Chain A
Amino acid sequence: MPTTVRVECTINDETREFLCEPRQSLLECLRDVLGLTGTKEGCNDGNCGSCTVMMDGRIVPSCLVLGVESQGSEITTIEGVARGSELHPLQTAFLESAALQCGICTPGFIVAAKALLDRNPRPDEHEIRLWLANNLCRCTGYDKIIRAVQQAAATLQEAK
């Protein structure tokens, strides 16, 4: 029997406790152990960004972090981006700009784009494209996604 480890961390502002094997990635723990299936698996090796989550204030590929490594950390997943039923401006912009088709890449894009707008509220197009270089989309094409991020940035600026 493989040994399991008890892990305690904060996910979307809630204290969570779970058991996992050392070999399980944070991505697997989120989806299969904790039922937080918003975070998606694409490549499982750091290339596609669909598994992007915030960990201690930085975006990370959750497929390359072990579940056991999240002990004591603060994690935000796509489930923590909306405030109750009120969508984040990025989520609204993705819907309005039709910046998604199958949607597998979308949670990763939104979590990564939110981290960008939190530190740089007025990124230019080049900065957005560079920041999101590790987020791949095989259906929508990138233009609509970039426009959605620009639109969300504008909405957030107006709200200030």
Chain B
Amino acid sequence: MHAFEYANPTTLKDALALLGNRWGDADVLAGGTDILSLMKDEVYVSKRLVNIKNIKELGGISMSRGALRIGAGATLEQLIENAEIRKSFPSLAAAARGVASPQIRNIGTVGGDLCQRPRCWYYRGGNGLLAKGANGRPLVPNGENKYHAIFGHEGGAYFVSPSSLGPALVALDAKIKLASASGTREVEAAKFFVAPASDTARETALLPNEIVTEILVPAGMRNATYEVREKQALDWPLATASVALQMKGNSVASAKVVLGHVAPTPWLAAAAGQALSGKSLSDSTIAEAADAAVQGAKPLSQNKYKVQLARVAVKRALTEIARGRA
């Protein structure tokens, strides 16, 4: 790992003053579970790391005015341990529980989960975010693409968004609050994640001089997440579905179905949401929504299996709600 300067501010204001306008001049260090391994492999180099873990205002999880507020510095383990989240946001609790292991969840933060870089092995192997070979041709479509995208890769980003919390937050209509030295702004979770069009672009709306400060999640929706993975723990999901339903009596007034680990962003399956609208949850309406969710998938040479996994994930997430388990 290259040498870097370490800063340990205790206020948000001081932290923001230490960031710059270019990635790599200064970067946020939260739990370090992602950025430190990228820096050790010298896939990423930063001149200054700004530790944000000692900034109190970035911590904490609370309910206020009908919304859940999660400080960006809260750890994934704190999310799971929170009784309110387990009760009213089972989708988030399930997504957090799926991440890695106690060791990683004890230090990995919510903000870091949203801003972590893709796990695509071409990117991690130093081939750039869009994984192009020496001749400028993309390596993924005819390469080892078992774990890559089946949706949304038309723009040349073939990796999958690694964030386990992303799909749940998009389904729940969460807002992400960002601060910079010149002010604050709020971005809808759905707009926070973007498919980069070049190697130097990023996968989120975050700018180099900004810090994610908190995440606001409105309450009142039935919600669930189901992840399909090879092992029960310490494994990345192969496909996930996060669903959030606004109920009116026994029928669904509106629904958001979001797929995870199948596209360079959390993938809103709008057709699945529409398929559920105005209906009650039954085996047949659930099956229709699951089929609608994977319509238009464009699997690569080795990942057609993910289409079926995504369909199953949607079915099981909705079934958890129908059976009153979430």
Contacts and interface: CB of A to CB of B under 8 A. Distances in A.
Contacts of B5: 3, 22
A59 B106 contact: yes
Interface in A39-64: 44-47, 49, 52, 58-61, 64
Contacts of B17: none
Interface in B1-30: 1-6, 8, 29
B230 to A, nearest CB: 12
Residue among B1, B41, B77 with max Cβ neighbours from chain A (10 Å): B1
25 contacts: A21-B3, A22-B3, A22-B5, A22-B6, A23-B1, A23-B2, A45-B37, A45-B40, A46-B37, A46-B103, A46-B104, A58-B107, A59-B102, A61-B103, A64-B31, A66-B6, A66-B36, A112-B103, A130-B232, A131-B102, A133-B101, A133-B234, A134-B101, A134-B102, A134-B104
A106 interface: no
Interface string B100-125: 11111011000000000000000000
B233 A133 contact: yes
B40 A134 contact: no
Nearest to A108: B103
A66 B32 contact: yes
Interface string A106-119: 00000010010000
Interface of B: 1-6, 8, 29, 31-33, 36-37, 39-41, 49, 51, 53, 77, 100-104, 106-107, 231-234
Given A59-B103, A64-B32, A69-B53, A133 B232 contact: yes
A131 B102 CA distance: 7
A45 B2 CA distance: 16
B100 A60 contact: no
Contact of A60 (B2, B37, B103, B231): B103
A22 B53 contact: no
Contacts of B53: 69
Interface in A53-84: 58-61, 64-66, 68-69, 71
Nearest to B35: A64
Contacts of B49: 22
